Structure 1
Amino acid sequence: AESLLRTGRSFGRSIHALCNVHAMVSNGIARKGEQSEEPEEAFTARERRENKMFAALLKSLLGLEARLMAGDSEDILLITTMLQKGSSSARSEDIKILKSIILDWLVVPGDTLFPPMSANVKADCGFRHDATGALLCPVGIDWNNLEQKIKSGELKVSGEQWPIMVYASYTYNEDAPWKGLLQSSILLKVFRQIFTSRNGPRNIGMHTSLTSVTPASIAYAAVQARFALLSSAVFSRSNTVTDSEIFYNCVIDRLEAPDNIREVDCLLAWWNRLIFPDHTPISRLISKNSVLAKIKAKRMAIKLAALGNPETLLHQLPDNES
């Protein structure tokens, strides 16, 4: 049971945070069984994505596939219930931790927020306070001009409208929408809080094979950062006020769209440079002086140059965050 809970925690953070695990597993078993002869084209884009999630889940725990394929309906329900519980508990744990520390990241050490906000009173956050509202303000909208309409609820912000806080330096370039996207300092801090610690990887690193940043892990950090800044005290997938599920799916869709492969590769290279500096897609060690190493270094330099110098962002973080 404990191994299933750990696997569920890792699954929710790095593969998919908000899926119905039982439905996903049941559909995955069906595709490996009676639908195994069906061509890839026979499935919808959503079904193909779900199948990738199922395959990733099976790889995350030794023996899980055998247990699922040999189990009856009760066995499968028990397994998926534990996986879902693990995913939900990880999300709740991260929400609790971030609620208590994210406000500290909004001010320079020694300064205070005005009006003051308490980490224990989320009702004062969100669009009701300038410090959090300005970060949650959708890109392309001037917070200073529409602040009152947003605060009063006259202008509703949906999950499809990405907050400016996902952009580096909280700056959006409408002529280059990928520039700085999902590279903000607060998003980086949230990611590190969730996935790493001073002493190395937390549970997700120790209990899975995760050695590089995944699109889903970036999306998870983004939805956690956004929710931590909102005024809602309870996370709910179906909450139409926070629209967390819609926002999460929008990020996933953007990062998994075939047309965005080049941009996403550059983005992942940037993230891995900061989070997993030893990450390499090559499965064997390469001599630093080899031709392959030189080619790899040149390619990485080009990718990072396309997104800006990551060291610049590192220097913007407090000493205890870099």
Structure 2
Amino acid sequence: MSESGEDEHTRPLSSSSARKRPHSSALELGPRKKATTQDPLVHHGRHFGRAIHAFCNIQTLIVNGLLRMSERMNEPDESLTAEERREHMVFRELLRQVPGLEKRMMESSEEDVIIIAELIQKGANGARADDTKGIKSAVVDWITPKGQALNPHIHRNVKSGRGFNHERTGALLCPAGLDWSNTEIKAKLVNGQIQVAGDQWPLMLYANYSYDAEDPWNGLLRSGLLVNAFKHTFTSPSSVDQEPKATRSGNARIHGMRSVTKPSIAYIATQVRFALTSAQVFSRTDHVTDSERFYNSILELLEDPEEKDEVDQLMTWWNRQIFPVYADPERLPSKDSALARIREKRAALLIGGRKLLSSG
């Protein structure tokens, strides 16, 4: 406000000031704005949330990780609790993913470390929001039978008609072990008499949406719905309906992702489950969808050493779905191939060398 009481934005321009101010027209684009450069940490944060840990408090993770590195460097891992070991493993994976991050943090003040954490968190949150929006729309196509239509119709950007309110999404969200075709069970799911906890996994996780109570590992986390969502998120939306190519693209290629990670499977399962529900807002504290508990329960199974054989088979299966050039390291080379002959000769030389040593 000027001394005369006139606001500078409303006071009439003098002829001299009018000449100095550049002409602007609503029908002209005007000067191009300078592009803002986004910190690379935001970019890395997007991949961290998708492929390393989706519900992580980045600031706490970094602060705790740095403290362990400085104060407990010489202590054995056995001195940590199981939760601390798991958290530190996630922290080390973050350092591995982001080149130069450890050095940058070691040379930063406490305030700068907090800023670093905020930038990574921004990326993780932004990716989750983008994926939630994208899968919410695309999932309608994936659950619609070829050449048919859903009845009633599900709007791509509206969630109120989903969840147990719709026959198709209800069947996919029905907890394994419950019979969606049972009228009484269906009614209780619809009216909320049966509350579904996050660790009650839905049929949509299973191949052909079929659950075998005698063999609960059979088909688990191998549904076509999950594969579609993974491709949509990590390779490209167009790769869902196309034959896989021998090259990586999209987010996977950008971040140098050459194989599927266990957290990425849990993340995609969580996103698909949420997309099928009628819940409007994706929130870690939402007790209706219980998304964080759902995510962690899948991750705990995949990281359980007791389940290693089944998990290894599952990871090999996933890598062959997403990365066609993926090779099982235990797969033997083709019989009579040059590679097979090279390995045979190497083995023969080693055996011969051992015999000479033993005879001498």
TM over 0.5: yes
Check whether the contact 2:206–2:219 (CA below 8 A) recurs between aligned residues.
yes
For 1:58, what is the secondary structure of its paired residue? helix
Check whether the contact 1:173–1:179 (CA below 8 A) recurs between aligned residues.
yes
The structure whose Rg is larger is: 2
Report the alpha carbon displacement of residue 12 of structure 1 after superposing the two structures with TM.
0.4
Partner of 1:302: none
Partner of 2:285: 238
Q: Which runs of 5+ in 1 are unaligned?
A: 296-322
Q: How many residues align?
A: 291
Partner of 2:218: 179
For 1:116, what is the secondary structure of its paired residue? coil
Listed one character per residue, the Cα deviations across residues 259-288 of structure 1 (whole Å, up to 9, x for unaligned) are 011111100000111111212476xxx896
The residue identity in structure 2 corresponding to 1:55 is R
Report the alpha carbon displacement of residue 106 of structure 1 after superposing the two structures with TM.
1.2
Q: Which runs of 5+ in 2 are unaligned?
A: 1-37, 240-246, 345-360
Report the alpha carbon displacement of residue 292 of structure 1 after superposing the two structures with TM.
9.5
Identical positions, percent: 45
Partner of 1:205: 253
For 2:181, what is the secondary structure of its paired residue? helix
Whether 1:11 and 2:48 are equivalent positions in the alignment is yes
Check whether the contact 1:4–1:83 (CA below 8 A) recurs between aligned residues.
yes
Partner of 1:22: 59
Partner of 1:318: none
Aligned pair partner of 1:157 in 189, 196, 203: 196
Distance 2:258 2:248 in 1: 12
Listed one character per residue, the Cα deviations across residues 32-65 of structure 1 (whole Å, up to 9, x for unaligned) are 1101122111111111111111111111121111
The residue identity in structure 2 corresponding to 1:261 is K
The residue identity in structure 1 corresponding to 2:68 is R
Check whether the contact 1:11–1:57 (CA below 8 A) recurs between aligned residues.
yes
The residue identity in structure 2 corresponding to 1:163 is P
TM-score by length of 1: 0.86
Distance 2:116 2:102 in 1: 11
**How is 1:160-309 mapped onto 2 (pairs within 5 angstroms)?**
160-197=199-236, 198=239, 200-206=248-254, 208-280=255-327, 289-291=338-340
Aligned pair partner of 1:114 in 145, 151, 158: 151
For 1:290, what is the secondary structure of its paired residue? helix
Distance 2:308 2:250 in 1: 29
Report the alpha carbon displacement of residue 116 of structure 1 after superposing the two structures with TM.
1.6
For 2:71, what is the secondary structure of its paired residue? coil
Aligned pair partner of 2:107 in 66, 70, 87: 70
For 1:101, what is the secondary structure of its paired residue? helix
Partner of 2:7: none
Check whether the contact 1:60–1:209 (CA below 8 A) recurs between aligned residues.
no
The higher relative CO (CA closer than 8 Å, separation ≥ 6) is in 1
Report the alpha carbon displacement of residue 105 of structure 1 after superposing the two structures with TM.
1.2
Give the aligned CA root-mean-square deviation in angstroms.
1.9
Report the alpha carbon displacement of residue 289 of structure 1 after superposing the two structures with TM.
4.1
Deviates more, 1:248-257 or 1:51-60: 51-60
Check whether the contact 2:316–2:328 (CA below 8 A) recurs between aligned residues.
no
Distance 2:294 2:343 in 1: 39
Aligned pair partner of 2:165 in 113, 128, 133: 128
Distance 1:264 1:179 in 2: 12
For 1:124, what is the secondary structure of its paired residue? coil
Query: Whose helix proportion is higher, 1 or 2?
Result: 1
Listed one character per residue, the Cα deviations across residues 284-306 of structure 1 (whole Å, up to 9, x for unaligned) are xx8964239999xxxxxxxxxxx
The residue identity in structure 2 corresponding to 1:170 is Y
